[in-house]
Amino acid sequence: MARLIVVTGGAGFIGSALIWTLNRMGYDRILVVDALGQGDKWRNLVGLRFDDYREKDDFLEDIRNGTIREREVQVVFHLGACSSTIHPDKRYYLKNNFEYSKELATFALGGGVRFVYASSAATYGDGSQGFSDDEQQLDALRPLNMYGYSKHLFDLWLRRRGVLSKAVGLKYFNVFGPNEYHKGEMRSFVHKAFFQVRETGGVRLFRSHHPDYPDGGQTRDFIYVKDAADITAFFLNPRVPGGIYNVGTGEPHTFNDLVRAVFDALGAPPRIEYVDTPESIRSQYQYFTKADISRLRAAGCTAPLRDFAGAVREYVTEYLVPGLHLGTAGR
């Protein structure tokens, strides 16, 4: 029998997209690990093929008591985390994003199991140190929020123990696409813009408070979730070197570009209103992100990435308008 592929956060946004991708590659011996709670995240699992499901705390107990052994596992994709940047209890980030990750990494790497985990582009802070995934630059990074700091702590923890080269850390940039509806305020702006247009006919964007950027000219490296999942699945290959890799496109777009692509997908003329960025987040606001993906390409991940406007159009017309998710849509 084939060994298990473990996906923590498997009912979440990127996790469920990864399982969808793995299914299309012929893999279904998958253990989904998540914390479903009282929301609708379970809907992301409908239509996907997997072997079993475990709640995240139960899964950790399975590891501790030997119910799951290293020899039964091919790879751990550790994508589960508290991804909110505004959670009030900072201890929760440490417990969920740092302590849990350390225990899972110890299990996997100690038993020779491939360990692929979600880091984050939030570790880069304001971007003043650039967006290079060279691990020698880790000490210079200054995350702007506790979410980014919790991810950065784990990167540093692996490096201090000399095992970062045995693991694979993926720094996801601004991911958008189907299966994100449950994320509340952490949804992509493509999702938010679609519902603003549907409800009001227009979209509100933050006004720029930086002299180098016009209103709506704030820039992000947006990547479609299907592309992010393809890149993640690439690291199934045990011959691909470990370390940290950026997961982005290397081609940033402005929020104006994004909103116009949403309007275009809906066949409506753009109607944009600019409002002040709230004081509470102004000091943490990023004006520019751009993934350096040269290391990813050098590792052999050469698959083409979707055109930005085309990806927005597919998301809007094939998922948001009909109200579908990856497991039940036609593509």
pTM metric for this prediction: 0.95
- Say what the pLDDT of residue 331 is: 62
- Say what the pLDDT of residue 71 is: 86
**Residue showing tokens 């519902």:** 195
Q: Is residue 39 part of a domain?
A: yes
What total of structural domains would you count in the chain? 1
Residue 52 exposed, middle or buried by CB count within 10 Å (0-12, 13-18, 19+): exposed
Q: Is residue 275 part of a domain?
A: no
Length of the chain: 331
Cβ-proximal residues to 247 (8 Å cutoff; 6+ apart), any chain: 170, 171, 172, 173, 175, 223, 228, 231, 232, 291, 293, 296
- Say what the pLDDT of residue 242 is: 96
Of 183, 192, 285, 287, which residue is the catalytic one?
Answer: 183
Mean pLDDT by 10 residues, the chain (331 residues): 91 97 96 92 96 96 90 94 74 89 95 96 91 94 92 96 96 97 90 96 94 94 98 96 97 97 96 92 85 97 94 97 86 62
Query: Which one-letter DSSP state was computed for residue 43?
Result: G
Q: Is residue 295 part of a domain?
A: yes
Q: Is residue 204 part of a domain?
A: no
- The residue range of the domain holding 296 is 4-177+222-251+288-305
Q: Is residue 270 part of a domain?
A: no
- Say what the pLDDT of residue 330 is: 62
DSSP symbols for 266-322 = HT----EEEEPPPHHHHTT--S------HHHHHTT--PPPPPHHHHHHHHIIIIITT
Q: Is residue 123 part of a domain?
A: yes
User: Is 27 an annotated catalytic residue?
Assistant: no
Of 100, 117, 124, 147, which residue is the catalytic one?
Answer: 147
What tokens were used for 144?
């702007």
Q: Is residue 203 part of a domain?
A: no
Q: Is residue 91 part of a domain?
A: yes
**Does residue 174 contact residue 161 with C-beta atoms inside 8 Å?**
no
User: Is 151 an annotated catalytic residue?
Assistant: no
DSSP symbols for 218-276 = -EE-EEEHHHHHHHHHHTT-TTS--EEEEES-S--EEHHHHHHHHHHHHT----EEEEP
- Say what the pLDDT of residue 140 is: 95
- Say what the pLDDT of residue 244 is: 98
CATH of the domain at 142: 3.40.50.720
